[in-house]
Chain A
């Protein structure tokens, strides 16, 4: 068995539930094509280095699985047909995995770690969102003229970088 990892970018507007549902659908596909599902690593929303279909952000998910290779075409076909998937890339991570059970237990451990990371990230993002909102409110209450100019400057600099 070989280990493959398929990374794909999902549209950022897709809800968490819909994304989860899509992943379970992929699980079914993998199972039916004789592959061993290891884990899905949802890395959350990331900024794209360049626009894809006018999207500037995307949700990155990496699926790890063991297969003799036949599952790759099945999975890629499903990803190609799914409109909400912007891009995908499959890479062989390990040409020969002999101890499948050991790899499975390691994958379960990895999945736990990733879940933990995702929780922390969600908390952080929520915090940032709150901070941004608070900032907006305080900016709005301040004087119009000088404040607005200052904000403009900051924005310009951010875009340039």
Chain B
């Protein structure tokens, strides 16, 4: 019961979640390789990844790659004494905008974060603004 029962369970699982069986598209595909038993969470994560991939494909041209503005234009410097230029990277309540949204590259996002924190110490940038609420 122990060995064979386990294997059978795995096959059934493959049929339910893998869609096509091994060699579904007539190729020796990586995704058809023998895998160990997936945990429930791993299965859910895989499902979510697949869904996200599909959604992105569907969107197609609507999805635009963001470009770091400091990489694009070397002339734009990052200066903690320039609150106008840094304001763009803060929310209305004074929080830092993550690079996921601002589109900065990691290097420049670090520099921006440091500049904003210095500006805060000098009362050029807000720590928090309660006007936005």
Contact = CB atoms under 8 A, between A and B. Distances in A.
B66 interface: no
B123 A52 contact: yes
Given A7-B81, A7-B122, A48-B123, 13 more contacts: A9-B122, A9-B123, A43-B81, A46-B124, A49-B120, A49-B123, A49-B124, A52-B123, A58-B123, A60-B81, A60-B122, A87-B123, A161-B131
B127 interface: yes
B118 A50 contact: no
Interface of A: 7, 9, 43, 46, 48-50, 52, 58, 60, 62, 87, 89, 91, 160-161
Interface residues of B, number: 13
B54 to A, nearest CB: 44
Contacts of A160: 131
B122 to A, nearest CB: 5
Contact of A89 (B83, B118, B126): B118
Nearest to A51: B123
A72 B48 CA distance: 55
